[in-house]
Copies of this chain bind each other. A is one copy, B any other.
Amino acid sequence: MPRPTGFFGRTLRRVFAVAAPRRATTGEVDFVGAGPGGAELLTLGALRALEAADVVIHDRLVSAEVLALCPARVERISAGKKGFGPSVAQGDINEMITDRALRGARVVRLKSGDPTVFGRLDEEIDACDAAGVAWRIVPGITAASAGAAAIGQSLTRRARNSSVRMITGHDMAGFAEHDWRALARAGELAAIYMGTRSARFVQGRLMMHGAAPDTAVTLIENASRSDQRIIATRLADLADTVEGTVFSGPVLTFYGLCPRDAVAARMDTPGKKEAAS
């Protein structure tokens, strides 16, 4: 690897002196968070892992912007996993990872967002452990953080909420059940991952348990990317809003949170009016 030079080079040398990369005679696996898509939200550690990789096995949701940071010599493999769509079987992904590592490669398993949040990380770590392959986790910015930043809000706020949940709209069994009664109480705040397909289900469950119909709901598509889109609505209109919108990228749904006035004022979406509350 060439020595970095120049101003940023000096900075990065200082950064990279702090924790030298592990060296192994056999391969090893870095489970790396790619963040929500904007290259600026990649961590320095993630960038370094990409620079040092022999092969990058990435989810379909990892953005082109982030993949473009892989050096040209690095082999890139797309390994599915996207909601309800077609996907590479988990067992095949596990084998791809361990097989490459056992043959001596530095493998980066690049996952959208933070690998520890709805990342199906455990199956892959278990496979590494079973194969005797060393691994480490490099955290990433999760969509909830990028979404909150996009709408100028906090996930927690004194005198409003001292707790926030990250929940998924669907799991292995279909739409995911949660503690709807608790979530339906005033002041609750949840970041719902993979929540568009389950929007009508979530809306129905929450309203059945007494959530106020005008509870703020905000959808953020492609958070942090150049094509980021913010749609502000309310619980009673959530399903209709989702069904009336064509989404092309990952969507985070905030239940109990609207864009801050200063952000709403700059928005040009159907939800603008509701947002300016």
Which A residues are closer than 8 A to B by beta carbons? 1-9, 11-12, 14-15, 18-19, 33, 35, 38-45, 47-48, 51, 65, 68-69, 114-123, 125, 129, 135-142, 145-146, 148-149, 152-159, 162-168, 171-172, 176, 178-179, 182, 224, 226, 260-262
Contact = CB atoms under 8 A, between A and B. Distances in A.
B39 A154 contact: no
Given A141-B141, A168-B163, A179-B182, A118 B156 contact: yes
B11 A6 contact: no
A144 to B, nearest CB: 8
A48 B40 contact: yes
A7 B2 contact: yes
Contact of A5 (B5, B48, B157, B167): B5
Interface of A is mostly: mixed
A129 B266 CA distance: 14
A141 B261 CA distance: 26
A6 B7 contact: no
A2 B6 contact: yes
Contact of A9 (B5, B38, B47, B115): B5
Contacts of A119: 154, 156
A34 B103 CA distance: 37
A179 B179 CA distance: 11
11 contacts: A4-B8, A4-B9, A6-B9, A8-B51, A14-B69, A19-B38, A116-B154, A117-B164, A122-B158, A125-B262, A162-B168
B129 A139 contact: no
A142 B116 CA distance: 12
Contact of A6 (B6, B38, B115, B171): B6
Nearest to A1: B7
Given A114-B145, A137-B148, 13 more contacts: A1-B7, A5-B5, A6-B6, A14-B39, A14-B68, A14-B69, A40-B48, A43-B141, A129-B261, A129-B262, A137-B149, A139-B149, A142-B145
Contacts of A41: 43-45, 139
A4 B1 contact: no
A269 B3 CA distance: 38
A234 to B, nearest CB: 21
A84 to B, nearest CB: 15
Contacts of A43: 35, 40-44, 141
